[in-house]
């Protein structure tokens, strides 16, 4: 039985890492279907997450990758979350930035990676069309769902295609 | 030349008789006319005297040289003591009279030296070359040298004789004349002149001799001869056997000594005792010192465990130095005695070599501590010499890394060696600086080993007086050394900070070579070193696990050893943080009291009808957090129950399989529980059925057997073979007519007992091994009511017993690695899924690395386990193998 010689680094980054490790453990203990997340490397502050598009929405059967970055003040400040997979959505712009209140001013320290991803998953099915980042999408969502769906599929790329593109 | 010829020749000089080439009688050289001078009479230009002198000199020269020339067989030629008158005259003329060499003219002495050179080259050298041209065998070295010396000595005498007899007297006369002329009548000058002439001649001869021998070979041969002589001399003088040289047993040292001296003096006489010989001596002494240390001294004093350095010093002083002096004296070197400073240097040199020889084998000495005390003491002196410490550290570290810190060495072995190192180096250097530096890699390595802590703590718990545990230690699982260290009385050192103590009159600065973190350990205690391998907290955690396991298995109702161990550790590590261990200890002690109280209270109303032949002995389910019990000695007809009450908060994670215990036990448990709650103010008990220890008696148709130290699940399984109320009831002994009793199959049992399949099969195998059950058909077992003689059963029993033993060995109260992996498999799998989904395809190595970094609480498994997990997931279609070791998420 090895005695764990835990690397103890001082400062807030250590507590952030600890918190993130605990969150990772929680996610792994109780996985949510359709949502996974995992750190990119050992320093734990950058993660990649994968969410499945919710069923009976235009995003059904699509897989989206996101990047999450946690600052030194996490969980008191929200993580920076971006869509890595190109997505056509009223609240996401073409570079993947997301307009979601809990990632901005409504952030609270009780949120965690799991809840953020869950919120994003539901955002796919219920866009907030009152403050769109993509005006055309917001408009089409209300008026022409078929066209919206076509544009969603046109913009979407599978993880394999993304890999091939070197992203 | 026969005598007659010689006589004739002495009267009538016959040039043709001369074998060499003395200057022939020839037309005198009359010189040349000066360029530009008129041709005339030869006497015209010069003064007549010069011309005449030249002629005279030539004549004299011719006569003298003919007389002095050396015949071929010099040794056989008769000595010519008398000079014929003409020769006398000629020599006188040449050496004393007018004919003495002027500038540019060759003197007769020089000519003679040259003659000697030629003679030697032509006639003697050949013989010597035969011996010296090829390599000289060691066995021949003495002879060759002695022969050479003899030949040269002889030649020297022969060459000298004419010189001394015929030339020196004239030189002397000449010197005397000069003295008279100068008016200084000092014999001194005369003697000096003669001496100079003599010396010059000798030098010439010696140069000839020296050049006739190959320098290197001569030096080496002489060196060997000296070495050989020294070896022979010392072997008796020191009275130690030198096995390396197969010299016959009885050697007359006096003879050897004389032989050597004669040879050396002789060599010196023929001029071979100069630089080359001294170099050879140096060489020989160097080798001698090595040989001496390598032979006699390498015998470490294993018996009296003393240092041998004193002996070495005495030998240098009384053996080595006198020998060197003797040789130098024979060679007539100038300072024939060795100065004190040099002696000291030699002693140091000898000690250095001894030290180096010891260091080479230091690892062996350390592992053979403490028989090797003598060797360690030898090294103590070596450490004081220049560079000794560094060499020792470097060399020993290399030995350790090559011979100790490799996967082939068991942890126990490494720990034992580490303990020896601590002990040996404490002796070697009590300040502990060297120990600290050589122990660092070992400590680092031990920390990496997974079972180090377990081995140490388990070893601490060995009872030296208990045969069983001593046996366990001898199998190599546990370190006996640690146990015996623990048994030593512990003197608690003062904790006062020496550095700050102004009253400490014995204060000393730390050693100059100490590292900054050096702190003199006040405790020369091995346990201290072992316990400080880790951070205290880590160590205590491990201690908790092992102590827990140990306490549950322990048979001693008083727990004396455990109490003592805990006290000892407290002294060494401080009391704080050890509460958990104390609580554990108190738990088991208190449980005993509670058991007694409860049993007393329960004896009266409790009345278990002895309805079953299989009487369950003391069962020990665990309250609140499990408790195995010690078997009560009471052979009650009804089952008895003892419990260990453990405070779950403080104990490590224990095995917690659930299954149904026999009904009687269950009711006992409930009873116990209610009483406990009454005593302890409604505190709840949770039974941990997987832990425990039981004793039962089984009654069969033909026999009764008792079993001790059974695990609860084994008891539960065998109890399930009791007839159920609905089943055929054959009275007390079931199935009297048949040899087989109740039959059950595995599925049934699993259902009845709600027991895990692995556990069930383990228990079944155990009972088959004990010839209690028999597998009548696959997965169906029956009780063997009558043992018949058929070997079938016993074969099956033997096989099953083997299995059961293996399984039992694997089961411990604290969870095993495999259990852990199984239990957390889901988490690990979701880790792998998450990793592969988000980070793309990965090789196993990287998966393993990520797991180690990411899993909270660590991932104590290797690539093999990861592969197994991946394989399982592949079977479930979750991942796919992408060739090689790379895996990706399945589509």
Tell me if B17 sits within 8 A of B9, measured CB to CB: yes
> Does residue A39 sit in helix, strand or coil?
strand
Q: Is the pLDDT of residue B679 over 90?
A: no
Measured torsion, CA atoms of residues B834, B835, B840, B846, in degrees rounded to the nearest 10: -160
Query: Which DSSP symbol is given to A81?
Result: E
| From A1, A44, A49, residue closest to B838, measured CB to CB | A49
Supply the pLDDT for residue A83: 92
Q: Which of A28, A45, A84 to mutate to test binding with chain B, by most B CBs within 10 Å of its CB?
A: A28
What confidence tier does B691 reach under pLDDT thresholds 50, 70, 90?
Answer: confident
User: Measuring CA to CA, which residue among B133, B126, B128 is closest to residue B151?
Assistant: B128
Residue A39 forms beta bridges with which residues?
A47
pLDDT 10s digits, B188-199: 666 777 788 888
Supply the pLDDT for residue B620: 40
Q: Which residue of A has its CA nearest to B449?
A: A2
Tell me if B316 sits within 8 A of B297, measured CB to CB: no
Query: Which DSSP symbol is given to B499?
Result: G
The whole-angstrom separation of Cα B190 and Cα B168 is 11
* Cα B701–chain centre separation: 65
Supply the pLDDT for residue B290: 81
> Does residue B864 sit in helix, strand or coil?
helix
User: Measuring CA to CA, which residue among A144, A111, A113 is closest to residue A37?
Assistant: A113
Q: What is the pTM of this model?
A: 0.57
Q: Is the pLDDT of residue B435 over 70?
A: yes
Q: Which residue of B has its CA nearest to A5?
A: B538
Question: Cβ of A67 under 8 Å from any chain B Cβ?
Answer: no
- Given the residues A68, A81, A99, A120, select the one marked as catalytic: A99
The whole-angstrom separation of Cα B576 and Cα B585 is 15
> Does residue B886 sit in helix, strand or coil?
strand
Tell me if B773 sits within 8 A of B723, measured CB to CB: no
Checking ipTM against 0.90, whether it exceeds it is no
Give A40's contacts in chain B (Cβ within 8 Å): 839
Q: Is the pLDDT of residue B43 over 60?
A: no
The residue ranking higher by pLDDT, B650 or A61, is A61
Supply the pLDDT for residue A68: 92
The whole-angstrom separation of Cα B605 and Cα B764 is 35
For chain B, percent of residues with pLDDT exceeding 90: 0
User: Measuring CA to CA, which residue among B584, B596, B606 is closest to residue B670?
Assistant: B606
Question: Cβ of A43 under 8 Å from any chain B Cβ?
Answer: no
Q: How many CB pairs under 8 A join A and B?
A: 72
The whole-angstrom separation of Cα B793 and Cα B784 is 9
Tell me if B65 sits within 8 A of B108, measured CB to CB: yes
Is A99 labeled as catalytic in the residue annotation? yes
What confidence tier does B626 reach under pLDDT thresholds 50, 70, 90?
Answer: very low
Average pLDDT for chain B: 73
| From B453, B834, B854, residue closest to A21, measured CB to CB | B854
| From B539, B830, B860, residue closest to A2, measured CB to CB | B860
Chain B contacts to A (CB-CB under 8 A): 447-448, 450-451, 453-454, 534-535, 538-539, 541-542, 545, 827, 830-831, 833-835, 837-840, 853-858, 860
Supply the pLDDT for residue A80: 92
Residue B459 forms beta bridges with which residues?
none
Rounded to whole angstroms, what are the CA distances from B362 to B303, B355, B432, B434, B460? 18, 10, 17, 14, 28
> Does residue B13 sit in helix, strand or coil?
coil
Supply the pLDDT for residue B707: 80
According to the per-residue pLDDT averaged within each range, which of B281-290, B557-566, B686-695 is highest?
B281-290
The residue ranking higher by pLDDT, B95 or B266, is B266
Give B827's contacts in chain A (Cβ within 8 Å): 25, 28-29
The whole-angstrom separation of Cα B373 and Cα B425 is 11
**φ/ψ of residue B404, rounded to 5:** -115, -45
Tell me if B675 sits within 8 A of B602, measured CB to CB: yes
User: Measuring CA to CA, which residue among B619, B616, B622 is closest to residue B630?
Assistant: B619
Tell me if A35 sits within 8 A of A114, measured CB to CB: yes
CB spacing of A5 vs B453 below 8 angstroms: no
Q: Is the pLDDT of residue B292 over 60?
A: yes
The whole-angstrom separation of Cα B167 and Cα B169 is 6
Supply the pLDDT for residue A3: 38
* Cα Rg, chain A, nearest whole Å: 17
> Does residue B336 sit in helix, strand or coil?
coil
Supply the pLDDT for residue B614: 35
What confidence tier does B820 reach under pLDDT thresholds 50, 70, 90?
Answer: confident
Residue B690's region, left for phi above 0, alpha for psi from -120 to 50, else beta, is: alpha
The residue ranking higher by pLDDT, B326 or A4, is B326
């Amino acid at each position: 039985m090895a005695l764990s010689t835990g690397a103890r680094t001082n400062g807030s980054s250590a507590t952030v890492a600890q918190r993130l490790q605990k969150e990772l453990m929680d996610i792994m203990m109780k996985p949510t279907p359709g949502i996974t997340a995992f750190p990119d490397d050992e320093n734990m502050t950058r993660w990649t997450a994968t969410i499945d598009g919710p069923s009976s929405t235009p995003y059904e059967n699509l897989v989206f990758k996101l990047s999450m970055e946690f600052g030194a003040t996490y969980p008191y400040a929200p993580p920076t979350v971006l869509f890595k997979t190109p997505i056509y959505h009223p609240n996401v712009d073409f570079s993947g930035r997301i307009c979601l209140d809990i990632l901005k001013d409504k952030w609270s320290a009780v949120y965690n990676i799991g809840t953020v991803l869950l919120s994003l998953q539901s955002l796919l099915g219920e866009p907030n069309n009152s403050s769109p980042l993509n005006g055309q999408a917001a408009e089409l969502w209300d008026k022409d769902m078929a066209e919206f769906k076509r544009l969603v599929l046109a913009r979407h790329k599978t993880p394999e295609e993304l890999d091939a593109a070197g992203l | 030349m026969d005598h007659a010829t010689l006589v004739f020749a002495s009267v009538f000089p016959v040039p043709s008789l001369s074998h060499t080439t003395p200057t022939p009688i020839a037309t005198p050289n009359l010189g040349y006319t000066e360029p530009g001078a008129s041709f005339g009479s030869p006497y015209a230009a010069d003064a007549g005297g010069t011309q005449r002198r030249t002629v005279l000199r030539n004549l004299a020269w011719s006569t003298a040289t003919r007389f002095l020339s050396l015949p071929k067989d010099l040794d056989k030629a008769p000595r010519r003591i008398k000079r014929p008158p003409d020769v006398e005259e000629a020599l006188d003329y040449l050496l004393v009279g007018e004919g003495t060499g002027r500038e540019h003219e060759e003197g007769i002495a020089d000519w003679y030296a040259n003659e000697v050179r030629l003679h030697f080259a032509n006639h003697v050298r050949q013989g010597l070359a035969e011996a010296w041209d090829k390599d000289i065998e060691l066995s021949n070295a003495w002879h060759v040298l002695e022969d050479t010396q003899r030949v040269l000595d002889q030649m020297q005498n022969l060459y000298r004789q004419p010189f001394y007899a015929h030339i020196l007297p004239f030189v002397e006369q000449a010197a005397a004349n000069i003295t008279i002329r100068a008016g200084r009548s000092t014999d001194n000058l005369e003697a000096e002149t003669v001496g100079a002439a003599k010396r010059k001649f000798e030098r010439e001869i010696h140069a000839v001799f020296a050049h006739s021998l190959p320098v290197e070979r001569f030096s080496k041969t002489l060196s060997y001869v000296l070495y050989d002589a020294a070896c022979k001399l010392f072997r008796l003088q020191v009275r130690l056997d030198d096995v390396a040289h197969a010299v016959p047993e009885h050697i007359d040292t006096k003879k050897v000594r004389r032989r050597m001296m004669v040879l050396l003096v002789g060599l010196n006489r023929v001029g071979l005792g100069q630089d080359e010989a001294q170099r050879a001596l140096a060489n020989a002494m160097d080798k001698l010192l090595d040989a001496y240390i390598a032979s006699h001294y390498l015998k470490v004093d294993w018996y009296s465990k003393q240092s041998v350095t004193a002996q070495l010093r005495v030998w240098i002083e009384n053996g080595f130095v006198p020998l060197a002096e003797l040789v130098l004296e024979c060679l007539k070197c100038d300072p024939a005695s060795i100065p004190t400073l040099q002696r000291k240097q030699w002693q140091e040199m000898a000690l250095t070599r001894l030290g180096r020889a010891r260091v080479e084998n230091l690892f062996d000495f350390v592992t053979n501590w403490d028989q090797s005390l003598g060797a360690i003491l030898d090294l103590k002196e070596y450490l004081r010499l220049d560079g000794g410490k560094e060499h020792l550290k470097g060399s020993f570290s290399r030995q350790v890394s090559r011979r100790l810190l490799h996967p082939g060495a068991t942890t126990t072995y490494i720990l034992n060696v580490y303990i020896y190192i601590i002990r040996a180096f404490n002796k070697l250097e009590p300040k502990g600086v060297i120990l600290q530096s050589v122990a660092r890699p070992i400590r680092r390595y031990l920390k990496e080993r997974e079972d180090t802590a377990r081995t140490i703590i388990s070893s601490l718990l060995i009872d030296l007086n208990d045969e069983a545990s001593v046996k366990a230690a001898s199998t190599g699982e546990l370190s006996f050394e640690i146990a015996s260290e623990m048994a030593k009385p512990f003197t608690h050192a003062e904790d006062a900070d020496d550095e700050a103590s102004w009253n400490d009159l014995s204060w000393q600065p730390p050693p100059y070579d100490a590292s900054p973190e050096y702190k003199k350990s006040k405790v020369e205690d091995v346990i201290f070193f072992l316990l400080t391998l880790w951070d205290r907290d880590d160590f205590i955690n491990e201690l908790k696990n092992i102590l827990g396991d140990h306490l549950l298995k322990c048979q001693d109702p008083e727990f004396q050893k455990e109490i003592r161990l805990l006290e000892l550790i407290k002294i060494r590590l401080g009391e704080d943080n050890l509460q958990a261990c104390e609580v554990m200890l108190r738990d088991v002690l208190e449980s005993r009291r509670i058991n007694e109280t409860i049993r007393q209270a329960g004896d009266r109303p409790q009345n278990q009808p002895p309805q079953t032949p299989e009487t369950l002995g003391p069962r020990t389910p665990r309250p609140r957090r499990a408790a195995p019990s010690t078997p009560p000695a009471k052979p009650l007809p009804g089952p008895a129950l003892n419990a260990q009450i453990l405070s779950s908060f403080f104990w490590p994670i224990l095995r917690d399989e659930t299954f149904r215990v026999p009904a009687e036990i269950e009711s006992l448990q409930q009873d116990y529980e209610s009483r406990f709650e009454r005593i302890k103010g409604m505190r709840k008990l949770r039974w941990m059925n997987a832990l425990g220890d039981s004793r039962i008696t089984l009654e069969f148709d033909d026999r009764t057997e008792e079993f001790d130290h059974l695990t609860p699940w084994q008891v539960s399984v065998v109890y399930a073979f009791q007839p159920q109320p609905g089943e055929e009831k054959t009275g007390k002994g079931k199935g009297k007519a048949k040899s087989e009793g109740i039959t059950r199959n595995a599925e049934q049992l699993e259902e009845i007992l709600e027991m895990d399949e692995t556990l069930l099969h383990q228990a079944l195998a155990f009972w088959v091994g004990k010839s209690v059950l028999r597998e009548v058909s696959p997965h169906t077992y029956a009780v063997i009511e009558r043992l018949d003689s058929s070997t079938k059963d016993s074969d099956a029993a033997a096989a099953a017993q083997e299995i059961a033993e293996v399984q039992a060995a694997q089961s411990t109260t604290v969870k095993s690695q495999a259990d852990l992996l199984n239990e957390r498999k889901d988490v690990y799998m979701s880790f792998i899924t998450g990793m592969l989904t988000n980070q793309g395809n990965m090789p196993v190595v990287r998966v393993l690395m990520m797991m180690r970094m990411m899993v909270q609480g660590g991932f104590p498994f290797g690539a093999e386990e990861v592969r197994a997990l991946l394989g399982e997931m592949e079977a479930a279609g979750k991942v796919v193998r992408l060739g090689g070791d790379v895996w990706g998420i399945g589509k």
